[in-house]
Structure 1
Amino acid sequence: MNEKVKALYDKLIQGVEDVFLSERYLEFLKFSLNFRNYSFENTILIFLQNPNATYVAGYKTWEKLGRHIRKGEKGIAIFAPLFKKSKEIDKETGEEVELSKLNGFRIVYVFDISQTEGKDIPSIVTHLSGDNSIELYNKLLELSPVPVSFDNLPVGKNGYYDLITQEIVISNKLTGNQRTKTLLHEVVHSFVEKETLKDDNDRRRAEIIAEGTTFVVANYFDLDTSDYSFGYLAGWSENPKEIIKWGSEIQKTANFIIDKLNKIEIKLVS
């Protein structure tokens, strides 16, 4: 890793601390909805350099779209992989094949659409319209990989996922958006928890991933859980540097669930 790349990565680590030790955590998660095709690390870098960015691309891409970078605009630095080609003998066929292996990273620059001018382009991000909480709730019932039931749970306990019995239980006292949000949180647990949590660190990691993913997915479908999620996450977070890894899992899990939900069609009866 060259010095320039190392300096940028160090800036990334510092930025993560700043983001996850404040309300900027939720601000970043909402921001990341616009950058689902970027790595967690590059999304952080874009956020740190231009928190108002909505769609970024390189110079040549903007040219192809009929837009050009305004004079004097400063690029947003991100990481791009470097690949090295090599030739090896395939063990099965005995033939020589050309392989491309990751050989480090370099810095490239992208620009937000606000830094460009030219042809209009289609809307970049679309959200579901209508009563999304009801539609999302029904989609989650269909998506859940385990049965969902409702019970008279103790006050303060909204729901839980039981790994042993393979079921989700939601408090029958919940209605509306809180019921949808709770179901989403437990559905996330059912996808990411494959074995019993060993200790408090495991539990903390699981809860941060589950609620972070819940926030991203819910906001994608226009259900804002900010007031609830921030307090929940603040209660579980300890070491912000660990969230570099957890943040990547949040992004990956959220993308997986969003893609699954988008494929489910629900017919609502009026």
Structure 2
Amino acid sequence: MKKDEVKKLIEQGVRELNDALAAGDSQQLKEFMAVMARFPRYSFNNCLLIVMQKPDAQMVQGFHAWKKAGRWVKKGEKGIGIVAPMVYRNKEEKASEDGEERMLRGFKVVHVYDVSQTEGKEMPEFARVTGDAGHYIDAVERVIRAKGIELLYEEIASGADGVSRKGSIVIDPKLEGAERFAVLTHELAHEMLHWDKVKRLLTTKTIRETEAEAVAHVVCRAVGLDSTTHSADYIRLYSGDLDVLAGSLDGIQKAAAQILELLGAAEAVKEEAAA
């Protein structure tokens, strides 16, 4: 797959998402966000490329990475084209701490393969969460407090499940399980995305609420939880132009990836303390 083909595929994917939203069809965006949940560290464009080429992908790696894992790509399988940065050593600039200064010189198309396209050594079975959110509630609470955000559990006069107040999150104490985790993540997304003055001027409440719910949905899916607090409306976003839609989904993906990374770090610290 060439660069111009990748560009056209991305443009086509964004256009199809936009058309689906305008028509009130949430299925395509659901599929896209499911891919975002499975690959939280991939960029918006790469998630879009994966969903356009193989929406059922579960685990992707390059040819040589699979070979190191004791598996090989089946004969005749077509790779999934994604974009990767081209980084070169800069001999003219001052060397970095590791002895080399590296410069980003653009992007190139590389191909990855889903585990279903490979064969060989059996893959290990990864533990999956079945809906008990207690473990993750503790982790997200620690992430919130570690970011210097006050976390309170008390009834909210407006009747809302949760509220973000710039440096403070309030959660209805009656919420339990996956519902509590989803609302905690939703409000954390607000804290991360929506208290910048410029951001608030350039967005509406509808956009901000939708982005926060989308982040929570992706994070819940990524950890294996079924969040019941999100209505189907979260998926419809808003009828903006292609650039606005793409920008919103890019922010959703980055926020979800950051939260998942922080959750992983919080879990690692807890395990070390218990050792």
Letter in 2 for 1:19: L
Superposed, which structure 2 residues align to 1:233-248 within 5 Å?
A: 233-234=235-236, 236-239=237-240, 241=242, 242-248=244-250
Contact 1:26–1:226 (CA<8 Å) still a contact in 2? no
With normalisation by structure 1, the TM-score equals 0.79
Offset of residue 26 of structure 1: 2.3
Specify the alignment match of 2:169 in structure 1.
168
Specify the alignment match of 1:11 in structure 2.
9
Cα distance change of structure 1 residues 121 and 102 upon mapping to structure 2, 3 Å threshold: same
Letter in 2 for 1:77: G
2:241 and 2:27 map into 1 onto residues whose CA distance is 13
2:136 and 2:115 map into 1 onto residues whose CA distance is 30
Offset of residue 202 of structure 1: 5.1
Contact 1:216–1:254 (CA<8 Å) still a contact in 2? yes
Q: Give the unaligned 5+ runs of structure 2.
A: none
2:263 and 2:62 map into 1 onto residues whose CA distance is 30
Contact 2:183–2:229 (CA<8 Å) still a contact in 1? no
Provide the aligned length of Structure 1 versus Structure 2.
254
Offset of residue 227 of structure 1: 7.5
What's the Cα RMSD here?
3.1
Q: Give the unaligned 5+ runs of structure 1.
A: none
Q: Partner of 1:169: helix, strand, or coil?
A: strand
1:126 and 1:18 map into 2 onto residues whose CA distance is 34
Identical residues among aligned pairs (%): 30
Offset of residue 245 of structure 1: 2.7
Cα distance change of structure 1 residues 240 and 149 upon mapping to structure 2, 3 Å threshold: farther
Deviations 1:27-79 (A, max 9, x none): 22222233233222112111110111111122222222222222221111111
Q: Which structure has the greater CA radius of gyration?
A: 1
Specify the alignment match of 2:233 in structure 1.
231
Which stretches of structure 1, 4 residues or longer, exceed 6 Å deviation after superposition? none
1:121 and 1:239 map into 2 onto residues whose CA distance is 42
Q: Partner of 2:111: helix, strand, or coil?
A: strand
Superposed, which structure 2 residues align to 1:158-237 within 5 Å?
A: 158-163=161-166, 166-171=167-172, 174-196=175-197, 198-199=200-201, 201=203, 203-225=205-227, 228-234=230-236, 236-237=237-238
Q: Partner of 2:203: helix, strand, or coil?
A: helix
Specify the alignment match of 1:79 in structure 2.
83
Cα distance change of structure 1 residues 103 and 117 upon mapping to structure 2, 3 Å threshold: same
Contact 1:158–1:171 (CA<8 Å) still a contact in 2? yes
Moved more, 107-116 or 16-25: 16-25
Moved more, 16-25 or 169-178: 169-178
1:116 and 1:89 map into 2 onto residues whose CA distance is 42
2:174 and 2:229 map into 1 onto residues whose CA distance is 20
1:64 correspondence with 2:65? no
